[in-house]
Structure 1
Amino acid sequence: MKTVWIYVDTGKPVGDPEHLKVFADEDAAEAWFKVNDPEGVAFEYPITELMA
């Protein structure tokens, strides 16, 4: 199963481009947090794929 990591900035309104951040993997999320939001967390979410 493929997954992404999602961060929600609750300080931004829904629809704002900065409200959600989606990362390809946990390492990418952690690297972003170190620079931008050391207290932040992301959650893992499965990618839905259509079967042919």
Structure 2
Amino acid sequence: MATPNQAHVQNGLEAVEAGVPALIEKPIADDIISGEKLIAAAEAKGVPL
């Protein structure tokens, strides 16, 4: 699914919550804090990101 850059974090978090691996193109997030949140969520759930 292709999404605008502003939706990457929200869509990524939804995929992680569902246990679905996600490939996110650059930029992963609009800011570092949001990107780190997404990465931490994926690592905590063991979902490839």
Q: Do they fold alike, i.e. is TM over 0.5?
A: no
More strand by share: 1
TM-score (norm 2): 0.32
Q: Which of 1 and 2 has greater Rg?
A: 1
TM-score (norm 1): 0.31
More helix by share: 2
